Structure 1
Amino acid sequence: MERLVALFEKHPDICTDTRQIRPGCLFFALKGEHFDGNMFASQALKNGAAYAVVDNYQGTDPRCILVPDVLQALQQLASMHRSRFTGPVLALTGSNGKTTTKELIHAVLSVRYQVTTTQGNLNNHIGVPLSLLKMGSKTEAGLFEMGASHPGEIAFLIAMVKPNAGLITNISGAHLEGFGNLEGVKQCKGALYDYLHAHGGTIFYNADDPVLMQMLEQRTIRDHLVPYGTSKQPVQSALEDGVLVVRVAGYPPIRTNLAGLYNTPNVLAALAVARHYGIENTKAAEALARYIPSNNRSQWIKTGRNALIADAYNANPMSMSLALTNLGLTEGKKKCAILADMLELGASAHQSHRGIVEQVEQMGLDQVFWVGPLFSKAVQELGAAGMCFAKVEDLVLHLGRHPLVGATVLIKGSNGMGLSKLIASGVC
C-alpha cells in the first residue's frame, strides 16, 4: 500500500473504465459479473494511464502494480486518503430521499465551502471510495451518500468515510429482499448513529419521525444532536404551480424546483446543516431555490401536452404512497398515474403492491397505467381500474397511439423498470 499511496500522491486521478482514461491517471482493474478489468490494463496504459493496479497479471510492464485484490486496494487507499483530511465530513443514508437531500445539503454547504461530494448516486462499496479519492487540496468539506441493500454495508462504508457529522433521512421497507424485514433496515442504517455517537460526531435528525426518535432513544444518545422538523420550528409548505414552496420562520420563502410535499423534511434537513455550519439564512434559502433536480428525481416537467411529476428513479411502498398523496394535493382537473413495479421487496412484494393499488382505487384518478407483473397481478386480483402493461415499451407504443393530453401525471417506479425510457420518449 505504501507504493500505491505514493503513486496516488503523484497521480491523484482514478479511472476504472478504459473508455474514460485521462492522461496520467491511475487505472484500477476492477472486476464485475461480466467483466475483468485485468484484461484491459494494457489498453488503459496505451490510452494514457500512468499506472494500472491489477490483481492478475503475468506480464513484465513495471507500470502494472500487482496487489492481492484491486477492490480492497481501492477501498484501503480511500480510507487512508480520508484520514488525512481534517475538515467537516458529513455522511447520510436512509431509505428515501438520500440523493435529493444530499444535493440540497451540497447546495447550502457550497455557499461557504469547496465541497467534494458523491456524484449522482455512486453510494456503494465502489462509488464511495471513488468519491473519497476526489478530495483534493482545494477540498474544504466532504459530503458522502451511503446506500445499502444488505446487512453490514453501511458500517463498512462508514469505516471508510469516517464522518464527523451525519443524518438518516428516514427508515422504511426498501430493499427488504436483502434485509429481510424493517428491523434489518434499522440495524444497518443505524450504524451511522452508532459511529457518530462513539466518535462525538454531530447527528442531524428529523424530530417529526418516530422511527428515528426511537432509534436515538434506544442508543441513549443525548449529546451532539441537531433536530429539525415541523415540531421544532414554524413551517408552512405548499405546492404552488406544481413545485414545493417552504416558509420557515426566519427565512425568506423558499420556492424550490422540487415536485412533492414529501421533500419538505429534506429542505429542513439542509437548513439545519446550513445553520450548524454558520451559513446565513438568506444565503441558504437562495441556494435551495437555485437547486434544480435531475435524473427523474422529484422533477416537475411541463411537456406542452402534460405536467409530469417525474419521480421514477426509485420506489418502495413508503415513497410510492407519499408520491400518490402528493398527486392528490396537486392542482389540476385531470390527474393520472403511471406506476411501475417496486423491486427488491422480497416476501412483502405482493402485499405491498396490493396496498398501493388499494390506495389508488380510493383516489378516483382519471387514468391509471400499471407496468410490470407485480402490479398487474394485484390489479387483476382486486378488480381495480386501469390498464396493465408487461413492460414500459408496450406503454410507450400505446401512448403514441392514444396520447395523454392536459393532465398532471405522476410517473413512479423502481429504476429497474425503465420508466426513464417513457419520459425520454416524449409521448407524455
Structure 2
Amino acid sequence: MKFIRTFFIFSLMEMVELYNKFKGCINVSTDTRKLKNGSMYFALKGDNFNGNNFVEDAFNKGAKYCVVDEPSAVVNKNCILVNDALKTLQELAKFHRAKIKYPIIGLTGSNGKTTTKELIYSVLSASFKVKATSGNLNNHIGVPLTLLEFQDDLDFGIVEMGANHQKEIEFLSSISQPDYGLITNFGKAHLEGFGGVEGVIKGKSELYDYIRANQKTAIINTDDEKQINQIGNYKNIITFGSKNDNNCQIEFLNADPFVTVMFNTLKIQSQLIGAYNFGNIAVAIAIGNHFNVPKEAIKKGIEDYQPKNNRSEIIEKNSTKIILDAYNANPSSMLGALKNLKQLSAKNKMLFLGDMFELGEEAHAEHQSIVDFAETNFEKNVYLIGENFYNCGTKSSTKKFKTFDDIKSILGSIMLDNSTILIKGSRGMALERILEHI
C-alpha cells in the first residue's frame, strides 16, 4: 500500500487491499509481547512508547504484516506504510464492521459495564455463539481490536464502550455501529473530563443519539428515570425493570449478600453482591428473554457468572469475609458499596476506602460526602487511604493515611476475626494489596 497523504482517508481500493491482507492473518496485535505467529501488527504510539521501534521484533515473532507510520520502520516488503497507524486500525475496524451480518450489542455507562457485558455473554452463550469485548478493552484502541476479533460464524457480538470525555461514545458508536444499545447508569464518574454530572449524562447518551439517528433498538431500564428522560419519545425500545408493563419484568428480592431476583416465577440467585447490581442482572435477563433463550438457561447463565479481577469478589478467610471491590471507584459506586454493606446482616463491619480519581474540582466535596456517610452509618473501623481522604474532616475514631505505605505497617495488627470487610478504591490505589498484609 502506498503512503497515504491526505487526511488519513483511504481510497476504497486501498482499504480493500488492506482488508484482504487482514483476512489472511490470524488476528491483529498492537503488542509484540503478546503477538502470535501469523498476526497483523499495528505500530501504535503513546506518551511512553513507539510501536515503530518494535517492527523487527514483530517480524521475528511471526508477524505476517506490520502497519507502520514512520518511513524508517519499513524493513521489508510486508510493511504497510500509512500516515497514522491508529487511525488506520480504526478505519479497518469500521470497514470490517460493515461486513458483519449478525447483531452487535453496544453498551456504556458510568458503573457496571464490564459486569453487565459478562452477564449478557453468559446468558446468550447458552443458545448462541457469541464473542464479547475481552477484559475492559473499551476505548479508542480496544473497541477496534474487539471488532476485528469478530469472525463470520458468530450469532452476536457484544461491544463495551468506555469514555472519560464527551464525543468519545459518539466516535466509538460510529465504529461499532451497534444494532442494540444500552446504558447501565449515569453516575459521578470521570467528572473532570466530562465537566460535571450533566456532562456525564450528555456524553453517555451519545449512544442513544446513534441509536435514534440510525433507527436501531435501545434497551431501557424503566426503573431509571434518567434513562427514560434521555431516550425521550423514541419508540424502538425494549423495556425491562420491576414494573409490570415492561417487555420484561424482573423483581428485586434481596441482596444479603448476593443479589436475588424473580423472573417468570423463577428465583435467580446471582453471585454478585449489592443492590446496585440489580440493573446489570436485569438487563442480561431481558436480552436473553428477547432473543428467546430458554428461561432455565437464563437462570443458569446468571447464577454461573462469577465476578473476578477485584470486582465485587467475596473472599473468605477463616471467620473473616472480605468484599474486594478494588478495580475502580467513583462517588456513585462508592456510595452504592457503602449502602450495600450497611444493609448486610453481618455485625462487625470494617471499611478500607481508597481515593477516587478524575473528579476535578469536585474531588474534595465528593470525598467529604463519602466520609460523612461512612461515619454516620458505621461507628468504628473506618480506614481511609489516599491524599484526598486524608484532607477530609473526620471524627477522631476514623483512621486516615496519606499513602498505602503509611497503613501497610499496621495492617497485620488489626483484629479481623468475625468481620465483614469492604475494600474499595480507584484502580490507581491498588487496594487489593491489603490482602497481602492481613
TM range (shorter): over 0.9
Write the mapping of 1:138-153 to structure 2, written as runs, cut at 5 A: 138-153=153-168
Write the mapping of 1:363-402 to structure 2, written as runs, cut at 5 A: 363-378=377-392, 381-383=393-395, 385-402=397-414
The yes-or-no answer on 1:62 pairing with 2:62 is no
Write the mapping of 1:157-176 to structure 2, written as runs, cut at 5 A: 157-176=172-191
Contact conserved, 1:357 with 1:384, CA < 8 A, in 2?
no
Write the mapping of 1:123-202 to structure 2, written as runs, cut at 5 A: 123-202=138-217
Contact conserved, 1:243 with 1:300, CA < 8 A, in 2?
no
Give the one of 228, 242, 258 matched to 1:243: 258
Matching residue of 1:47? 61
Matching residue of 2:345? 331
Matched residue SS, 1:256: strand
CA distance in 2, matches of 1:402, 1:343: 27
Matched residue SS, 2:49: coil
CA distance in 2, matches of 1:234, 1:258: 16
Matched residue SS, 1:151: coil
Summarize the Cα distance change of 1:122–1:235 in structure 2 as closer, same or farther, 3 Å threshold: same
Contact conserved, 1:93 with 1:146, CA < 8 A, in 2?
yes
Contact conserved, 1:320 with 1:356, CA < 8 A, in 2?
yes
Matched residue SS, 1:107: helix
CA distance in 2, matches of 1:251, 1:4: 52
Q: What are the superposed Cα offsets for residues 156-175 of structure 1, whole Å, 9 maximum, x if unpaired?
A: 00001000001001112210
Contact conserved, 2:375 with 2:395, CA < 8 A, in 1?
no
Matching residue of 2:360? 346
CA distance in 1, matches of 2:252, 2:178: 32
Q: What are the superposed Cα offsets for residues 177-210 of structure 1, whole Å, 9 maximum, x if unpaired?
A: 1011112111111111111112221111111111
CA distance in 2, matches of 1:364, 1:23: 55
CA distance in 2, matches of 1:183, 1:110: 36
CA distance in 2, matches of 1:290, 1:382: 41
Give the one of 23, 38, 45 matched to 2:37: 23
Normalising by structure 1, we get a TM-score of: 0.95
Matching residue of 2:236? 224
What is the Cα deviation at residue 403 of structure 1? 4.3
Matching residue of 2:107? 92
Q: Which runs of 5+ in 1 are unaligned?
A: none
CA distance in 2, matches of 1:371, 1:352: 15
What is the Cα deviation at residue 305 of structure 1? 4.8
Q: What are the superposed Cα offsets for residues 221-249 of structure 1, whole Å, 9 maximum, x if unpaired?
A: 1x121111123436132134x3222223x
What is the Cα deviation at residue 422 of structure 1? 2.1
Q: Which runs of 5+ in 2 are unaligned?
A: 1-14
Matching residue of 2:371? 357
Contact conserved, 1:208 with 1:229, CA < 8 A, in 2?
yes
What is the Cα deviation at residue 60 of structure 1? 4.5
Summarize the Cα distance change of 1:116–1:238 in structure 2 as closer, same or farther, 3 Å threshold: same
Which amino acid in the other structure matches residue 192 of structure 1? Answer: L
What is the Cα deviation at residue 251 of structure 1? 4.3
What is the Cα deviation at residue 82 of structure 1? 0.9
Matching residue of 1:103? 118
Matched residue SS, 2:259: strand
Matched residue SS, 1:121: coil
Summarize the Cα distance change of 1:307–1:41 in structure 2 as closer, same or farther, 3 Å threshold: same
Write the mapping of 1:292-303 to structure 2, written as runs, cut at 5 A: 292-303=306-317
Percent identical: 40
What is the Cα deviation at residue 331 of structure 1? 2.2
Contact conserved, 1:307 with 1:408, CA < 8 A, in 2?
yes
Q: What are the superposed Cα offsets for residues 337-390 of structure 1, whole Å, 9 maximum, x if unpaired?
A: 110011001111111011111101111343011010111111xx2435321122
CA distance in 2, matches of 1:251, 1:132: 37
Contact conserved, 1:251 with 1:281, CA < 8 A, in 2?
no
Normalising by structure 2, we get a TM-score of: 0.93
Q: How many residues align?
A: 419
Contact conserved, 2:259 with 2:273, CA < 8 A, in 1?
yes
Matched residue SS, 1:258: strand
CA distance in 1, matches of 2:408, 2:205: 41
Contact conserved, 1:337 with 1:368, CA < 8 A, in 2?
yes
Give the one of 208, 213, 224 matched to 2:228: 213
